[in-house]
A and B are shown apart, each in its own frame.
Chain A
């Protein structure tokens, strides 16, 4: 069953013109329109995610993967002009056109985003537990004990020491903060989690633990995920299928092991060879 189906997603920074699309992308070799100077962060992007499936999006910095992820996570960037169509199971109409309230509701219950930057995803002045509780409280949970119990459960599930539950989030290590974000994202049993660069800024051993935790929890909960990373090993470990982005376009997509072992596109080959 398809959970999310997106067509022709597009994010443009700048005034935009009629020739933006033709003058950018993989063939043009740039994401900046030579006519109006606008940056086409992503365009002509079609993708689908099924229930419990993990989709990887890889590409180098500026390839448009984060812009795509933001669109899918229903983040809004007021500086950008966005277009496209996102259909979501059980919801009528285009998710990109819903009002604030519906969007807020979807983001509270259905589609969770784990931000690349901790401060975008967590309120560091709250306790770690408070950050996770916020999701539940926003979703209308009103029993303190139940909220408390669920937060404890989520801490255990994501391997954040429960003893730290009432410490302020800014006292947590980077890896713990990332896991608190994952706990927060999982709190309301969403159907889809968007992970933006889940390992950025973490040292290697901590990265492994965060990824392990996520992979285990993702499988146990049967939640679908979109994992955005410049790091191929992250996507290799997590994703069933992978999209490769360059200059704001999806240049290749397929089974993750196929992309890694038998890359077709010249750019993908370079990308994979540059790592291995």
Chain B
């Protein structure tokens, strides 16, 4: 069953501060994502990977096109629905992990990860147990669990961030290069978790840089080139080739 239908999605930026330059981010991108699928988005820098994810999460306002999300409460066009619908979906069924952690300083890592669960009325003890399990799976050293992520290294913070996004098991999970700052060893832990933790109902759209990660986690691969969809192929047919300038 299709859970996300992207049809003719375009994004242009009118940059007034650069003499009214019009920049094209995405140009008429269409694809479907099936329920429970793991779709990897790949492409060269500037090909529109992050723009696509931002449009799906509505951090960018799509210029045209539809992003129909078949959520638990019926179909919603994420491209045009009211801001508050987006806020409600973000709090409920759509998760997002960026490359960077934007969290309250002076909150222990375990509580940072547990927070989305607590906000969804999960008992605090249970939420912390889940958080510990995720941090452990991501090979975050146990002595850091009670420390403040603001003091962590880039790789540690990224793992806390990923754990936080995974914790509530959102129906639709958007990941923007969640493994970019990880060394090979911890990246393997992340890959293992990404392929095992999200349930069969969780649909993932993730931007990845590394072919080995893509091959390990993805069901299908979407290749972007200069803001346009180049192809969507099953991971078995993906050769790791992206156009690199």
Contacts and interface: CB of A to CB of B under 8 A. Distances in A.
Direct contact between A and B in the complex (CB less than 8 angstroms)? yes
Interface of A: 50, 53, 208-209, 212, 215-216, 219, 237, 240-241, 254-255, 257-258, 261-262, 264, 266, 269-270, 273
A243 B35 CA distance: 36
Contact of B17 (A240, A241, A273): A273
B106 to A, nearest CB: 6
Interface string B176-210: 00000000000000000000000000000000000
Given A216-B104, A266-B16, A261 B83 contact: no
Interface in B119-141: 119
B59 A255 contact: yes
A50 B14 CA distance: 31
Contacts of A209: 106
Interface residues of B, number: 20
Contacts of A273: 17
Interface of B, secondary structure class, is mixed
Given A241-B83, A241-B87, A269-B15, A258 B61 contact: yes
Interface in B57-116: 58-61, 83-84, 86-87, 102, 104-107
Which of A216, A241, A258, A266 has its CB near the most chain B CB atoms (within 10 A)? A258
B13 interface: yes
B83 A254 contact: yes
Contacts of A262: 13, 54, 59-61
Given A212-B105, A270-B17, 18 more contacts: A209-B106, A212-B106, A216-B107, A237-B102, A240-B87, A254-B61, A254-B83, A258-B58, A258-B60, A261-B54, A261-B59, A262-B54, A262-B59, A262-B60, A262-B61, A264-B61, A266-B16, A273-B17
A50 B84 contact: yes
Contacts of B119: 219
Interface of B: 13-17, 54, 58-61, 83-84, 86-87, 102, 104-107, 119
B147 to A, nearest CB: 16
A273 B102 CA distance: 20
A235 to B, nearest CB: 13
B94 to A, nearest CB: 13
Given A215-B104, A219-B119, A264-B61, A255 B87 contact: yes
A273 B18 CA distance: 11
Interface of A, secondary structure class, is helix
A264 B60 CA distance: 10
B110 to A, nearest CB: 15
A269 B17 contact: yes
Contacts of A53: 84, 87
Contacts of B104: 212, 215-216
B169 to A, nearest CB: 21
B165 to A, nearest CB: 15
A52 to B, nearest CB: 10
A216 B70 CA distance: 33
13 contacts: A53-B84, A212-B104, A219-B119, A241-B83, A241-B84, A255-B58, A257-B59, A258-B60, A261-B54, A262-B61, A264-B14, A266-B17, A270-B16
Nearest to B60: A262
Contacts of A240: 87
Contacts of B86: 255
Which of A53, A219, A254, A262 has its CB near the most chain B CB atoms (within 10 A)? A262
Nearest to B11: A262
Contacts of B107: 216
B233 to A, nearest CB: 30
A50 B85 CA distance: 12
B225 to A, nearest CB: 22
Nearest to A241: B83
Nearest to B87: A240
Contacts of A261: 54, 59-60
B95 to A, nearest CB: 14
A255 B83 contact: yes
A257 B176 CA distance: 15
